[in-house]
Structure 1
Amino acid sequence: MKYANNILETIGNTPLVKINHITKDLPCTVLAKVEYFNPGHSCKDRMALKMVEDAEKDGRLVPGGTIIEGTSGNTGMGLALAAIIKGYKLICVITDKQSKEKMDILRAVGAKVVVCPTDVEPTDPRSYYSVSKRLAEETPNGWYVNQYDNPSNAQANYEQTGPEIWEQTEGKVTHFIVGVGTGGTISGVGKYLKEQNPNVKVWGVDTYGSVFKKYKETGIFDENEVYSYVTEGIGEDILPENVNFDTIDGFTKVTDKDAAVYTRRLALEEGLFVGMSSGSAIKGLLQMKDEFGPDDVVVVLFHDSGSRYVGKIFNDDWMRDRGYLEDDVKTAVDLIQEHVDKPLVIARTEELASHAIDRMRRFKISQIPVVDINGFAGSLSDTDLFQAYLDNPAIAEKPIREIMGAAYPIVKANASVEEVSKLITKDNQAVLIELENGKHNIITKYDIINSIK
């Protein structure tokens, strides 16, 4: 009989799959190393097991001990599999930007999950780096994995992923491209491939808000480049010891939007249900199209499965909220699709300013059209009310007609976006749209900005 003695024995030997449609305009052969075939559905299974086994050998991890790690989710899953089979406890420290699916999966496989804020400095005691270290110090028989600086991370990929790629391509691989987070995959695979053929090019995919690309090109760690981003699993606001910049030939940066869009394209056009970093990787490859020739064999690594991003990348509402869906916005009515079914909030000329203020607060809006018996008679904005309050703190008890501005212009539903945009000025904060049912809705500057792709 052929079987694995436990789930850990199924790690590795993931397939190479040819990309046919998204890369059809490239002259080279593009092969994806699809790592979601690992039992934990990501490339991190390899290094998680290697780090655990190496820690067992040198006594850092003792029988019955507790594994503690800061993770974006995938390393935590790999560690969870090892902990289950080997009898360890596991605490995963994760940031609040990670998908709910990742958190739920970690809990499902027995990990205790501690959630930390994303938008803090690495040295902040609330950061997931700091919390991981503190928990390791406070926990009896606790072992802090530290995948960022743990050499077993890169070594696992040197011993496994690199040789697999070399064998699967029969040594014909010319380029290796992968998103960079801890640096273990690119550094381990890159080192192995360059030892076999020094001419192999190794390229990292970075994200905006991360420091890798500029540091590689200038040697400068620029804190001004560090800001919050959506893409999970790649990019860093630190320089992990596992990132061997000498092995990496260069970086290309990919936006959050492109990462999300190309992740969905991989599912729809290639049948590859992968995570967001894979979308970054394939878009990064396309951005480098001038680097490739007809004889080149380009291997791009896809880190994980799309199952961990169902509530995000594969959710239309989440994508639309961030402006990632390529909706075709041409007319005025296209601009208001997010609130077209909501009734227009109005104020009346004889109401008190306090009524308008309460309405703005309750509905979380900044502009209100004002009506009288003849129709639209004026407008109110939070700016108008604020200025009026500065002039007279008793503003709340004044009739709206005494402080309102000019009525908003009205456009037809089929008016062009360009026409609407010209009507919104410094002195005119919104435009009313007349719908086919005779009712009206409002278009604000936010609606215009939200339509920009």
Structure 2
Amino acid sequence: MEYSENILGTIGNTPLVKLNKVTAEVDALVLAKVETFNPGNSVKDRMAVKMIEDAEADGRLQPGGTIIEGTSGNTGMGLALVAIIKGYKLICVISDKQSKEKMDILRAVGAKVVVCPTDVEPTDPRSYYSVSKRLAEETPNSWYVNQYDNLSNSLAHYEQTGPEIWKQTEGKITHFVVGVGTGGTISGVGKYLKEKNPNIKIWGIDTYGSVFKKYHETGIFDENEIYSYITEGIGEDILPKNVDFSLIDGFTKVTDKDAAVYTRKIALEEGIFVGNSAGAAIKGLLQLKEHFKPEDVVVVLFHDSGSRYVGKMFNDDWMRERGFLEEDFAKAEDVVKDHVDKQLVVVRTEELVSHAIDRMRKHDISQIPVVDITGFVGSVDETDLFRSYMVDKNVIDKPIKEVMGKPFPIVKLSTSIEEVSRFFSKDNDAVLVDLENGNHQIITKSDIIRLMK
């Protein structure tokens, strides 16, 4: 009979899959190393086993101990599988930008999950780096994994992932493309492949808000490059010991939006349901296409499963809120469609300025049309009211008609966005849309900005 002694025996030997549509513009053979076939659905299963086995061997991890790690979710899942089989407890410290699915999955496999804020410095006591270290100091019989600086991480990929890729491509691989987070995958695979053939190019995919690309090119750790980003699993605000920059031929950076959009493209065009870092890797690969020749064999690694991003990149509302959803907003009616049933907020000519201010506060708006019995006769916005108040503090007790400006232009539902945008200027911040039922709605500059891609 053919079977594994436990679930850990199924780790590795993941398939290479030819990509077709999503990389159609690349003049080379592009193969994806699909790591979702690991039992924990990510590449991190490999190094989780290696790090624990090495810690057991040298006595850092004792029987019945507690494993503690800061993770973006995938390493935690791999550690959880090993902890279950070997009888360890597990505490995963995770940043609040990670998907809810990742947190729920970790809890489902018995891990205790501690959530920390993302937007803090690594040295901040609230950061998931600091909290992980503190918990390791406070917890009896515990071991802090530290996947960033634990060189068993990259060794796992030197011993497993690299040889698999070399064998599967029959040594014909010319380029390896992968997202870089802890650095274990790119460094371990890169070291093995370059030992086999020094001409193989190793490309890292970075994200905006991360320090890797600039540090690789200049040797400068630029803290100005560090800021919060949405993309998960790649990029860092530290320099992990697992990142061997001497093995990496270059980096390219991918935006949050492109990473999210291409994550969905992989599923729709290739039928491969993978995570956010895979989208970044494919967009990065496309950005590097001038480096590839027809006879080249390019291997790109897909880290994890799309199931961990169902509430994010695969959720239309989440994508739309961030301006990532590639919708065609062609007409005025597309902009106002979500609030056509809401009453337009207006102010009458004889009402006091204080009434307009109260209405702006209540509805959190910056512009209000002014009406009388004949219809729209003027407008006020917060900038005009501010200037008037600075000149005369008593303006709040004056009627609106004394401070109002020109009425907002009125357009039809069928008016194109390009035409609507022409009405905006430094003197005009809004346009009214005739809903053709006796009512109107408003489009502001902010509404137009939200449509920009």
**Where on the TM-score scale, by shorter chain, does this alignment land: which range?**
over 0.9
The answer for the alignment partner of 2:443 in structure 1 is: 443
> What is the Cα deviation at residue 362 of structure 1?
2.8
How does 1:225-264 map onto structure 2 within 5 Å? 225-264=225-264
The answer for the alignment partner of 2:373 in structure 1 is: 373
> What is the Cα deviation at residue 396 of structure 1?
4.7
Q: Distance in 1 between matches of 2:24 and 2:328?
A: 25
Q: Distance in 1 between matches of 2:12 and 2:442?
A: 56
- The reply to whether residue 415 of structure 1 matches residue 383 of structure 2 is no
Q: Distance in 1 between matches of 2:115 and 2:392?
A: 47
The answer for the alignment partner of 1:128 in structure 2 is: 128
> What is the Cα deviation at residue 443 of structure 1?
0.8
- The reply to whether residue 322 of structure 1 matches residue 322 of structure 2 is yes
How does 1:283-432 map onto structure 2 within 5 Å? 283-393=283-393, 395-432=395-432
> What is the Cα deviation at residue 31 of structure 1?
0.5
Q: Distance in 1 between matches of 2:358 and 2:54?
A: 63
Q: What do residues 226-273 of structure 1 show as CA deviations (whole Å, max 9, x unaligned)?
A: 111110000111111111000100011111111111111100110000
Aligned partner of residue 17 in structure 2, secondary structure: strand
Across the aligned residues of Structure 1 and Structure 2, the Cα RMSD in angstroms comes to: 1.6
The answer for the alignment partner of 1:104 in structure 2 is: 104
For the structure 1 residues 226 and 337, does the alpha-carbon distance in structure 2 shift closer, same or farther, using more than 3 Å as the test? farther
> What is the Cα deviation at residue 338 of structure 1?
4.3
TM-score by length of 1: 0.96
Identify the range of structure 1 (126-135 vs 401-410) with the bigger mean alpha-carbon deviation. 401-410
Q: Which amino acid aligns with 2:44?
A: K
Q: What do residues 121-170 of structure 1 show as CA deviations (whole Å, max 9, x unaligned)?
A: 11111111111111111111221111111101000111111111111111
Unaligned runs of 5+ in 1: none
- The reply to whether residue 85 of structure 1 matches residue 85 of structure 2 is yes
Q: Distance in 2 between matches of 1:369 and 1:220?
A: 53
Aligned residues of 1:68 and 1:145 also touching (Cα < 8 A): yes
For the structure 1 residues 219 and 341, does the alpha-carbon distance in structure 2 shift closer, same or farther, using more than 3 Å as the test? farther
Aligned residues of 1:179 and 1:206 also touching (Cα < 8 A): yes
Percentage of pairs with the same residue: 76
> What is the Cα deviation at residue 449 of structure 1?
0.8
Aligned residues of 1:336 and 1:447 also touching (Cα < 8 A): no
Q: Distance in 2 between matches of 1:274 and 1:266?
A: 7
Q: Distance in 1 between matches of 2:393 and 2:82?
A: 66
Q: Which amino acid aligns with 1:345?
A: V
Aligned partner of residue 245 in structure 2, secondary structure: coil
Q: Which amino acid aligns with 2:125?
A: P
> What is the Cα deviation at residue 418 of structure 1?
2.6
Aligned residues of 1:68 and 1:92 also touching (Cα < 8 A): yes
Q: Distance in 1 between matches of 2:96 and 2:385?
A: 37
- The reply to whether residue 44 of structure 1 matches residue 47 of structure 2 is no
Q: Distance in 1 between matches of 2:181 and 2:54?
A: 21
The answer for the alignment partner of 1:29 in structure 2 is: 29
> What is the Cα deviation at residue 448 of structure 1?
1.2
Q: Which amino acid aligns with 2:286?
A: L
Aligned partner of residue 246 in structure 1, secondary structure: helix
Alignment: residue pair count = 453
Q: Distance in 2 between matches of 1:280 and 1:30?
A: 15
Unaligned runs of 5+ in 2: none
Q: Which amino acid aligns with 1:138?
A: E
The answer for the alignment partner of 1:198 in structure 2 is: 198
How does 1:160-179 map onto structure 2 within 5 Å? 160-179=160-179
Aligned partner of residue 188 in structure 2, secondary structure: helix
> What is the Cα deviation at residue 334 of structure 1?
2.8
For the structure 1 residues 354 and 167, does the alpha-carbon distance in structure 2 shift closer, same or farther, using more than 3 Å as the test? same
Identify the range of structure 1 (427-436 vs 149-158) with the bigger mean alpha-carbon deviation. 427-436
> What is the Cα deviation at residue 391 of structure 1?
4.0
> What is the Cα deviation at residue 340 of structure 1?
3.9
Q: Distance in 1 between matches of 2:45 and 2:391?
A: 65
Q: Distance in 1 between matches of 2:402 and 2:127?
A: 51
> What is the Cα deviation at residue 419 of structure 1?
2.4
TM-score by length of 2: 0.96
Q: What do residues 264-289 of structure 1 show as CA deviations (whole Å, max 9, x unaligned)?
A: 11001100001010001011111111
The answer for the alignment partner of 2:73 in structure 1 is: 73
Q: Distance in 2 between matches of 1:87 and 1:444?
A: 59
Q: Distance in 2 between matches of 1:355 and 1:64?
A: 68
Q: What do residues 159-193 of structure 1 show as CA deviations (whole Å, max 9, x unaligned)?
A: 11111111111111111000000000000000011
Identify the range of structure 1 (158-167 vs 395-404) with the bigger mean alpha-carbon deviation. 395-404
- The reply to whether residue 277 of structure 1 matches residue 313 of structure 2 is no
Q: What do residues 54-74 of structure 1 show as CA deviations (whole Å, max 9, x unaligned)?
A: 111111111221111111111
Aligned residues of 1:176 and 1:200 also touching (Cα < 8 A): yes
For the structure 1 residues 200 and 62, does the alpha-carbon distance in structure 2 shift closer, same or farther, using more than 3 Å as the test? same
Q: Which amino acid aligns with 2:12?
A: G
The answer for the alignment partner of 1:94 in structure 2 is: 94
Identify the range of structure 1 (302-311 vs 98-107) with the bigger mean alpha-carbon deviation. 98-107
Aligned residues of 1:43 and 1:303 also touching (Cα < 8 A): yes
Q: Which amino acid aligns with 2:348?
A: R
Aligned residues of 1:344 and 1:441 also touching (Cα < 8 A): yes
How does 1:180-195 map onto structure 2 within 5 Å? 180-195=180-195
Q: Which amino acid aligns with 2:221?
A: F
Aligned partner of residue 204 in structure 2, secondary structure: strand
Q: Distance in 2 between matches of 1:298 and 1:21?
A: 15
> What is the Cα deviation at residue 86 of structure 1?
1.4
Q: What do residues 365-389 of structure 1 show as CA deviations (whole Å, max 9, x unaligned)?
A: 2222122211112222222333344
> What is the Cα deviation at residue 395 of structure 1?
4.9
Aligned residues of 1:434 and 1:441 also touching (Cα < 8 A): yes
Aligned residues of 1:275 and 1:305 also touching (Cα < 8 A): yes
